Amino acid sequence: MASFAIKVIRNALKGVDAFSPEAAGRLAFRLFTLTPGRRPKNAKERAALAAAAPVIARGQPVTLSYAGGWVLARKFAAPREAANTKRILLVHGWGSRSDYLAAMIDGLVKGGAEVVTLDWPGHGASPGRTLTMPAAVRAIDAAWRHFGNFDVCVGHSFGGGSLACAAGGIVCDVHSHMPRKLVLIGAPSEMTWLFKGFGKILRLSPKAQAAFEGVVERLSGRRLDDFDAARVIQARAVPTLIIHAEDDKEVSADHARRYAAAGPNVEMHWANGFGHRRIVSAAPVIARINAFIHAEDQKAVA
């Protein structure tokens, strides 16, 4: 059953749609891009942030500017004794923040990597109240311009999809940024399903839905169906590790299967039992990522 707020929004959009489907579509897009509040919602989230604080404190904060705003990045240095250090860009998902990736940051650094994290616009320590995929791609571009090339990009959920779209050069005014390897965790393989689902929840008319989706093209120079991460992975043939849980209730495991079908450059790892959020802190998942990142170094030693 729809909440009272959803019912109010539906009625408001229906009223706007009667006069202008275009305006209704733009308003729906504005609602779609609003980011959740940043305050921890419960004791569990407060405890997670407290536990993450010592790890996050080790990161060097860096402000990165992009067209439309700025985001906060943090650089975590690799251990001094690390050989063949890899530079990794690590990004979180929608409604999250870098703090919730503390276990992965710690594990990747101990594995011998320099790690750079981003807080998306409207998330964590970055300003704003909205986030779009084009803005995320531009923030990734800012990280590449500031830190130089990344050997590996690792992204959870929305972050994984954003990294793939950045690698594919989907946003027309941003250069493609292709790492040597990609790791996508619980990530959507394309964005159309999300827009269709949101429009269905709001009961948008066909004309309002078309206007809603059309905002994407005005922001990025690309149609909504161009934001297809699986197609990028297939076309660019970048070595990619897909990690997903079949019990993920937020991003269907069908997205992982779609990635897996993209080509022989894709490795599939099922992390069943860890759902959508716990997966980023799971020790077996972090170990699998380290093995993928450092596979060539391990072969050289052997």
Q: What is the three-class DSSP state of 96?
A: coil
What is the average pLDDT across 126-146?
97
Residues 6 or more apart in contact with residue 249 via CB below 8 angstroms: 275, 276
Please, what is the Cα angle at 42 between 37 and 47, to 5 degrees? 105
For each of the domains in the chain, give its residue range(s) and CATH number, in order of start. 1-34+192-225 (no CATH), 59-189+227-302 (3.40.50.1820)
**Residue found by looking up tokens 């990747």 in the block:** 108
What is the average pLDDT across 232-248?
97
**Burial group, residue 42, by CB count within 10 angstroms (0-12, 13-18, 19+):** exposed
What is the average pLDDT across 265-272?
98
Each residue's pLDDT tens digit, 182-221: 999 999 999 999 999 999 999 999 999 999 999 999 999 9
Q: Above 90 in pLDDT, residue 82?
A: no
Average pLDDT, the chain: 95
* H helix intervals, the chain: 4-19, 21-33, 43-56, 102-110, 133-147, 158-167, 192-202, 206-220, 229-236, 253-260, 283-293, 295-301
Each residue's pLDDT tens digit, 14-38: 999 999 999 999 999 999 999 999 9
Q: How many CB atoms lie within 10 A of CB 287?
A: 12
- For residue 153, what are the β-bridge partners? 89, 182
Q: What is the pTM of this model?
A: 0.95
Q: What is the three-class DSSP state of 245?
A: coil
pLDDT band at 1 (very low <50, low <70, confident <90, very high): low
Count the alpha carbons within 13 Å of 40 in the hemisphere toward its beta carbon.
11
- For residue 88, what are the β-bridge partners? 115, 152
